[in-house]
Structure 1
Amino acid sequence: MGGIIWLASYPKSGNTWVRTFLHNLLLNADRPADINELTRFTIGDGDKVWYEQVTGKPYSNLSDEESAALIPRVHQAYARTRPDSVFVKTHNWLGKKHGVPLVTPEFTAGAIYIVRNPLDVVISLSDHYGMGIDQGVEMMNDDKAYSAETDRKVPDFLSSWSNHVTSWQSIDKQARHILRYEDMLYKPEKTFGALAKFLGLKPPRERLKKAIKFSSFETSRKLEAEKGFNERSDKAEKFFRVGKAGQWKTVLSPEQVEKLVTTHYDVMKEYKYLPPGYK
């Protein structure tokens, strides 16, 4: 392909899972890849060090408008790190910041988008950001939602959950591939095999199955327990928390379900996420 292949998702939707799978598939080692070395194949969008590299100045010296104006230069720097394609993880929606696209078309080759039932996302999201579930629901329903800036990263501009999903759907179908978290969970060989095909890869079945096994939730959770994970939020006890679908049925209140479904009904219907009684 050439250029940036975005690995995009709303937070806590399976982005790290896909990155881990690609890491294991490409390495094809005899043991699971180190989850703390995912940047070997995948750049993290929004790391301040990239802004500092293209300007030679500390990020703290930049205004919000100045950092936005630098986005195309940062994306060009991403693209130049590889002679062909480079994977870049992002949680930004496909929108603009101070009039500047958060995803630069000039340096974009394609996108892999991971979508997950928002009723499950809100549980993981709330834990990750150290907030109550009611706050998580408000965040996912907010058209202007963004994640907080950290010492290492600029904020992610999320918009609402459904805006996030539909924004990435606007990319040309031939240049994007959409994965459902639930299909990754219940139909892994078919789902990850289709992803490999989209990327122009034809791994032997045994290699594909090994990459799936080495990137499983159970394997990643074990590795985090042994070595920690450098992407864990300081507000969460662990990054790899449960890794299941349908947890919302025993965690969310009817009122919380109602608020999310009311706001995101159309997109939830499109991806078959509507709970019984909302058809």
Structure 2
Amino acid sequence: MIWIASFPRSGNTFVRNILHDVYGLTSSEYHMEEDHPLEADYADHPFVKTHLLPAQLDPADPGIKAVYIVRDGRDVMVSMAHQRRDIVAPGSDFYENLKAAIIAEKDSFFGGWSKNVEAWTKRAGLIIRYEAGPFRPCFDIL
């Protein structure tokens, strides 16, 4: 098992889609949402997606390999605010959503972008920049 970690809206799902569609590799997700239970066999997949901080993982074994996808925090915050307004909480105020994501009170928003990036860049064996990683050819085509 390899963790594929990222702060939300940083390309994790896109990377997992590439792994599946191009290489046939499956993945699972690890999270702490009560309304979205964990798959019982999540750790049996070659890749497991998470947005959680390393200390929140089970198993928290630092010997388990990890890839971290990092995206410019400014773009992430704007994307999160749009997603919340359009999908998560339709009609919510964009600027309030943006402010909440930036402030990340009480370690909401997966510890906040800075804390998430700091924790994972110390833990991951491979770091992929969203702006320079496997996404670049897609941007060049567009």
Normalising by structure 2, we get a TM-score of 0.74
Q: Paired residue for 2:47?
A: 87
Q: Are residues 102 and 133 of structure 1, via their aligned partners in 2, closer, same or farther at CA, if it must alter by over 3 Å?
A: farther
Q: Are residues 105 and 120 of structure 1, via their aligned partners in 2, closer, same or farther at CA, if it must alter by over 3 Å?
A: same
| 1:31-59 Cα distance to aligned partner (Å, 9 max, x none) | xxxxxxxxx70101134153xx5xxxxxx
Tell me which of 1, 5, 20 is aligned to 1:8: 5
Relative contact order, higher structure (CA 8 A, sep 6+):
2
Counterpart check, 1:161 vs 2:123? no
Q: Are residues 108 and 25 of structure 1, via their aligned partners in 2, closer, same or farther at CA, if it must alter by over 3 Å?
A: farther
1:139 positional shift: 2.1
Give the whole-Å Cα distance in 1 for the aligned partners of 2:70 and 2:38.
Answer: 28
Counterpart check, 1:177 vs 2:141? no
Is the 1:12–1:124 Cα contact (8 Å) retained in structure 2? Answer: yes
Moved over 6 A (4+): none
Q: Are residues 110 and 129 of structure 1, via their aligned partners in 2, closer, same or farther at CA, if it must alter by over 3 Å?
A: same
1:108 positional shift: 5.4
Q: Tell me, which stretches of 5 or more residues in structure 2 are unaligned? A: 86-91
Q: Paired residue for 1:43?
A: 28
Give the whole-Å Cα distance in 1 for the aligned partners of 2:61 and 2:71.
Answer: 28
Q: Paired residue for 1:25?
A: 22
Structure 1 vs Structure 2 CA RMSD: 2.8
Secondary structure in structure 2 of the residue aligned to 1:105: coil
Aligned residues: 129
Q: Are residues 133 and 180 of structure 1, via their aligned partners in 2, closer, same or farther at CA, if it must alter by over 3 Å?
A: farther
Is the 1:7–1:15 Cα contact (8 Å) retained in structure 2? Answer: yes
Greater C-alpha radius of gyration = 1
Is the 1:6–1:88 Cα contact (8 Å) retained in structure 2? Answer: yes
Secondary structure in structure 1 of the residue aligned to 2:52: coil
Q: Tell me, which stretches of 5 or more residues in structure 1 are unaligned? A: 28-39, 54-76, 96-100, 148-157, 189-215, 218-243, 245-279
Counterpart check, 1:135 vs 2:97? yes
- Amino-acid identity (%): 32
Give the whole-Å Cα distance in 1 for the aligned partners of 2:38 and 2:68.
Answer: 25
Give the whole-Å Cα distance in 1 for the aligned partners of 2:69 and 2:126.
Answer: 9
